[in-house]
Amino acid sequence: MTGHKQPYYITTPIYYVNDKPHIGHAYTTLACDVLARFKRLDGYDVMFLTGTDEHGQKVDKSAAAKGIDPQTFTDQVSQNFRDLAVHMNYSNDDFIRTTEERHKKACQALWNTLLEKGEIYLGSYDGWYSVRDEAFYGEKELIEKDGEKVAPTGAPVEWVSEPSYFFKLSAWGDRLLKFYDDNPDFIAPQSRRNEVISFVKGGMHDLSVSRTSFKWGVQVPGDVDHVMYVWLDALTNYLTAIGYPDADPAKLEKFWPADLHMVGKDILRFHAVYWPAFLLAADIAPPKRVFAHGWWTNEGQKISKSLGNVIDPYDLTDRYGLDQTRYFLLREVPFGNDGDFSHRSMVNRMNSELANDLGNMCQRVLSMIHKNCDASVPTAGTFTDADQAILGKAYGMLDTVRPLFDAQAFHKGIEAIWELVGDANRYVDEMAPWGLKKTDPARMETVLYVLAEVIRHVGILVQPLMPASAAKILDQLVLPIDQRGFEQLGADHALVAGTDLPKPEGVFPRYVETEDEGEKA
């Protein structure tokens, strides 16, 4: 089987190491993790990449502010992102750092290719630069804030005047527009695609791709005075990780073009305009898709260091639990939109959807089985229409969820699974198996069997989202580890009557408000 699996390559942005990881970083990587896990369970050979972006002026300045050299600084801060990946139970297959040798080599190879193809020339840059955004801005793009010129993002800008290599971006407008046209799914969501297209239609200038006023970057081959523009360096990470330029072509072709670059809306332009232009210019296929998700606010307020309301992912998981946090982040907000984090909605979802709807259903059903069916998988008799309806829904759920996840509509996929959970709760109430024990024990067993099958399906399907909790549910059904893949969904792999089951334990605790929290609400 292995060796014939379809490849799937998914990437997160590589995060700047100028700061501690926060909810925004955790969110992007979580979305990728859920998709990576989903694809693995669905039989794909997945490559899931995340990492840290360690060069550039912003990182250089942060290191200087701490009084340490940039390499020591990046070693420390990059580790925070690795630690977060472990803490959040991300299943990334690699973690790339742009200060690694393999990456410098890849950047220089891409540079040389662009140079050979006549896409890069030496000139000088006179214009605005924002260190915070690590981006160049045209005069017309700037806005006024408190009497000062700032970037459209609100970031401070400075005037830069230095020799610089340029990439001939201005020549790529029409070819990019054709590329977007030929590949309607390349940029998602649709509204963001329209924004990118109108930006490109507005006309583009050549892009400065090297700097001379500081040293913290990948050196431009053959010109010791220049380091590469941090975005050219950073974007190349997606190629480095699959072995560019040295890996044998079969390996490169296996995972390239990447299936999905997941990014926040703030960095879509770099991924949907500059990156495909660099790649097309180097004769390398652009990625298949770039999805730009929205931003989180905290209790209605923009998250910012100066407001002191940055949400630390460790605080969330300590307070609410890891899988609860994972669930909430992808369930609360239609993926692609901005979202607000609030304690109230977190507690509501965790108590009603996890503790009540799913948790209680499992606990009720498994306890009844334990007590009334000799602690083993019950024996099913003939299925009624009602039994078949709910079983059919469970058996067909992957076909419902797969296209939703493939479109990154996580919230809708989760909602569909919870509809099944809701049906199961109504089915328990209607069938009232507790009342059947005396009147029709065979029917009771059939009802409990149907419910156990629904639980098996829900357990298998929620593994990408809540790996540890799903494992607990499936452990309670004594489902062997190798029988938890999506190929096991459906009637062909149904639970075997008579399998001994352990005493069930609750999987999703309720959040109990402290008096203080209750009063605030």
**How far apart, in whole angstroms, are the C-alpha atoms of residue 383 and residue 222?**
75
Q: Point out the residue whose Cβ comes nearest to ligand ME8.
A: 24
Enumerate the H helices of 202-281 as residue ranges: 230-235, 237-240, 249-255, 268-269, 275-281
Q: Which is nearer to ligand ME8, 81 or 511 (CB)?
A: 81
Report which DSSP code applies to 93: S
Q: What are phi and psi of 42, to 5 degrees?
A: -90, 10
Q: Could you say which of 8, 9, 10, 27 contacts ligand ME8 (CB under 6 A)?
A: 27
Q: Which is nearer to ligand ME8, 237 or 425 (CB)?
A: 237
- Residue 16 lies near ligand ME8 (rule: CB under 6 A): yes
Q: Could you say which of 234, 260, 391, 448 contacts ligand ME8 (CB under 6 A)?
A: 234
Q: Which is nearer to ligand ME8, 15 or 167 (CB)?
A: 15
Q: Which is nearer to ligand ME8, 24 or 286 (CB)?
A: 24
- Residue 13 lies near ligand ME8 (rule: CB under 6 A): yes
- Residue 49 lies near ligand ME8 (rule: CB under 6 A): no
Q: Which is nearer to ligand ME8, 293 or 457 (CB)?
A: 293
Q: What are phi and psi of 138, to 5 degrees?
A: -80, 155
The distance of closest approach from Cβ of residue 232 to ligand ME8 in the complex, given in angstroms and rounded to an integer, is: 10
- Residue 25 lies near ligand ME8 (rule: CB under 6 A): yes
Q: What are phi and psi of 486, to 5 degrees?
A: -70, -20
Sign of CA dihedral 470, 471, 476, 478: positive
- Residue 263 lies near ligand ME8 (rule: CB under 6 A): yes
HEC secondary structure over 96-133 = EECCCHHHHHHHHHHHHHHHHCCCEEEEEEEEEEECCC
End-to-end CA distance of the chain: 54
The distance of closest approach from Cβ of residue 264 to ligand ME8 in the complex, given in angstroms and rounded to an integer, is: 3
Q: Could you say which of 8, 9, 10, 28 contacts ligand ME8 (CB under 6 A)?
A: 28
Q: Could you say which of 264, 334, 490, 509 contacts ligand ME8 (CB under 6 A)?
A: 264
Report which DSSP code applies to 337: B
Nearest in space to 414 (alpha carbons), one of 428, 400, 427: 400
Site residues for ligand ME8, 275-314, by CB under 6 A, read 295-296, 303
Contact between 493 and 391 under an 8 Å Cβ cutoff? The reply is: no
The distance of closest approach from Cβ of residue 233 to ligand ME8 in the complex, given in angstroms and rounded to an integer, is: 9
The distance of closest approach from Cβ of residue 11 to ligand ME8 in the complex, given in angstroms and rounded to an integer, is: 8
Contact between 268 and 299 under an 8 Å Cβ cutoff? The reply is: no
Give the residues lining the site for ligand ME8 (CB under 6 A): 13-16, 24-25, 27-28, 53, 234-235, 237, 263-264, 266-267, 295-296, 303
